[in-house]
Amino acid sequence: MKNKIKNIGNAKVTIGTESFELPIYSGSKGAPGIDVRGLHKASGHFTFDPGFTSTCSTESQITFIDGGKGQLLYRGFPIEQLAENSSFLEVAYLLINGELPNAQQNTDFKRTITNHTMLHDQIEQFFHGYRRDSHPMAMLCGTVGALSGFYHDDAHTTEDESRNMAMHRLIAKMPTLAARAYKYSIGQPHVYPDNSLSYAGNFLNMCFSVPAEKYKISPTIENAMDKIFILHADHEQNASTSTVRLAGSSGANPYACIAAGVACLWGPSHGGANEACLNMLREIGSVDRIPEFIARAKDKNDPFRLMGFGHRVYKNFDPRSRVMQKVAHEVLDELGLKNPILDVAKELEKIALEDEYFIEKKLYPNVDFYSGIVLSALGFPTSMFTVLFALARTVGWISQWNEMLEDPSQRIGRPRQLYTGATERDYIPMDMR
């Protein structure tokens, strides 16, 4: 059931000698927002908010974050409960439709996704157009966008059937595209989807099996992969999600909108955090060097930063990291790996949870710290980390895109600016410059 935003009063804004009243709205959870839509018409002024960090760009019912409490809810359900009890496809159904599926709905949804895992054979030619050393995210971005050339009917975003088909195809084909990008980057033949496997199991099989021998999927590894997908499925109005919504607000093709999200996620300040974390662990190199880097992290004059600790949104423990912490230890125990980088990670985790400096500043290990460790242990190169992030986040992107299209108040995005360029001037002929 849709919860409407409520008018809870007015805010008085004084500009010079004039005062204006702006309505204040509250949602079902979180801080209220001041509606500034009428400010320019009334006063001739705009609000100035670089990065939109104090601006609500939309009304949404999908994901809620309380950074102070360390809380993440998908459609009202705590992420910890979903990760413990659900499968990724069940969570995907929830994010898209607003409710958890019953047994029949779950079966039907799985069957629908499974029926669309194959790629059109001509898409294979796109991969052969890339250099062998191309970054997998470059291949993913290009091939997701290319889907728009194969499924023209899905572009009719005003029709429910077309929208549903686009969403289902994206969920189904993203693992196939991601695995194909990985196989191409390492020079191995691609592996077709196996519809008898689970969503996570099928992806692992496409990544790690080879034609010469059978690949045995470990239940522990399969479970870890599924949980990684759940934890990364959505995260409110972050940069890539806002990019998808902004692209979608123009009525752009759904595959092009998701390709825009992939491109935004590729940035090291967004989806590349777990890759940066693993690179930091490699820089430390061995357990005996940890004190040196801890001291550098505490030195305000040293530019070195410990990656994978703290979070821009969560001022408490990242709730996803609690789940990933357990998953990381299960995976490492299962694989029994002897790797100095993983030893560094374990010791760094222990110090961060006990050291007063980290506790005081609430620099707890975040989801990127643990996911980087797990993905590395599974055998993925760091270049694939953001690809897996994009695979999981596709569900959130299409849920947000679909919600935006159904919102009657939605308008094409058009942020304002404070212009600081040259004032009006006359053209000077070439011979007089």
List active site positions. 311, 368
Give me 162's structure tokens.
């077309």
In single-letter form, the type of residue at position 113 comes to: I
Tokens read off for 328: 């990381």
CA dist 195 and 362 (Å) reads 44
d(CA 371, CA 36): 39
Helix (H, G, I), strand (E, B), or coil: what is residue 11?
Answer: strand
Question: Are β-strands 77-78 and 71-74 bridged in parallel, bridged antiparallel, or unpaired?
Answer: antiparallel
β-pair type (6-15, 18-26): antiparallel
Per DSSP, the residues of 161-212 read HHHHHHHHHHHHHHHHHHHHHHHHHHTPPP----TTS-HHHHHHHHHH-BTT
In whole angstroms, how far apart are CA 268 and each of 164, 195, 235, 276, 393?
32, 34, 17, 8, 16
Residue 74 has a CB neighbour count (10 Å cut-off) of: 25
Distance CA 391, CA 172 (A): 10
Cα separation, 430 vs 433, in Å, equals 6
Residue type, 322: R
* Residue 187: both structure tokens together: 């020079």
256 sits in which H/E element: helix 254-265
Give the residue among 182, 240, 199, 243 at the shortest CA–CA distance from 381. Answer: 182
Task: Kindly state the helix (H) or strand (E) to which residue 370 belongs, with its residue range.
Answer: helix 367-378
Backbone angles phi, psi at 180, to 5 degrees: -65, -40
